[in-house]
Structure 1
């Protein structure tokens, strides 16, 4: 079973320096039909004006993933991390019992775009943590996040996995799914069909009770998506 979440139907917030699209309820956008999916709580598609950003603010008990699609994030946090996060890299911050951080557009001339993703942890409290890694852009499926940190992946405090999918024009990928789990696909670039449904940039798909997910790039351009493997 697949349920589409079209990009045009997402919540919106525009503060001048920040233009954000919300897949799920967030901030002043509230829709009881879109409160999250399994433990996936937030997917915000953010565009930050040149030189602007999020000042120091706090989080706790949340696994926070940032993925830059254009530009560079300048990150600082209360754990002592001062990092630059360029396009294509993944950052995972475990807020634990509490962390303060800031995120700014590293360019004084160009817009920064990135995905801000929150996943609810399976444990509360504990030491906050920070991880960041470039996984490349090889065609096919690349596993980014796992509960164990196996094979060089980022380690998350939840029974969840995140995969990056890149398909060249005309390519198909079949993912072996578990009917007892839930899956969410967020289309990052290009167009792709998932379980027979077409996704364009910003679209999402909730997937349940499927034993296999067929993803097909039916366009002439390379397409990319994020695939979340979530508990039921």
Structure 2
């Protein structure tokens, strides 16, 4: 089964400092047809005004990834984790048995644009954790790079779930393939730009998901400015 989640079908929350688009139900946005996709529970695209952000709040038993597209995001939590996540960097926070954290735009002048991703863990009540890693876009140009994985392989961030996050950048004429197997779920998110997936044109914010599919996808870049594409491999 293949599903399509167009960018303009997502939920939206707008305030004087936040523009947030929700692929799945989150906060005040409820769509019972889109409560998540397997272990992938939240995928929000956030734009936060200069100097604004989310004050300290609590999470437990969730793997939280923040992927910055533009600008810089300041993180601080009560386990001692702190840092600034910049464009092209991925941050992992394992909420474990409980953690309080804040996220603010690190700039007083420019907005920050990032994806916030929640993945349900396969182990609960572990100690909280925090890490971040830079993944320069040019290193992903025309090839898949592993950004997060269960074992931290190939320099990726280790997460507490049998799930993998890969990323690629594709400009015009560049192509990659992705082999899908039937005993896993897959979610492909276009973070920026445009791409053809087996001939289907996707724009920024669009997504496709697959369940019980065994096939090989062909992804082709369509514009000189590269598309930034994320692929989640998830438990069935």
Question: With structure 1 as the length reference, what TM-score do the two structures score?
Answer: 0.97
Q: Superposed, which structure 2 residues align to 1:166-181 within 5 Å?
A: 166-181=169-184
Q: Please say if residues 2 and 195 of structure 1, whose CA atoms lie closer than 8 Å, have aligned partners that are also in contact.
A: no
1 CA distance for matches of 2:198 and 2:234?
Answer: 17
Q: Please say if residues 169 and 223 of structure 1, whose CA atoms lie closer than 8 Å, have aligned partners that are also in contact.
A: no
1:211 Cα offset (Å): 2.4
Matching residue of 2:144: 141
1:179 Cα offset (Å): 1.8
3-state SS of 1:8 partner: helix
1:172 Cα offset (Å): 1.4
2 CA distance for matches of 1:210 and 1:40?
Answer: 20
Q: Please say if residues 184 and 228 of structure 1, whose CA atoms lie closer than 8 Å, have aligned partners that are also in contact.
A: yes
2 CA distance for matches of 1:196 and 1:41?
Answer: 28
Cα displacement string for residues 34-86 of structure 1 (whole angstroms, at most 9, x for unaligned residues): 11111000000001111101001110000000011111011111111220111
Q: Please say if residues 69 and 114 of structure 1, whose CA atoms lie closer than 8 Å, have aligned partners that are also in contact.
A: yes
Q: Please say if residues 171 and 222 of structure 2, whose CA atoms lie closer than 8 Å, have aligned partners that are also in contact.
A: no
Matching residue of 1:182: 185
CA RMSD of aligned residues (A): 1.1
How many residues align? The count is 232
Cα displacement string for residues 93-143 of structure 1 (whole angstroms, at most 9, x for unaligned residues): 000000111111011111111100000000110101111000221211110
Matching residue of 1:80: 80
Q: Is 1:231 matched with 2:235?
A: yes
Matching residue of 2:69: 69
Large movers: runs of 4+ above 2 Å? 218-221
Structure 2 unpaired stretches of 5+: none
Matching residue of 1:118: 118
1 CA distance for matches of 2:3 and 2:198?
Answer: 10
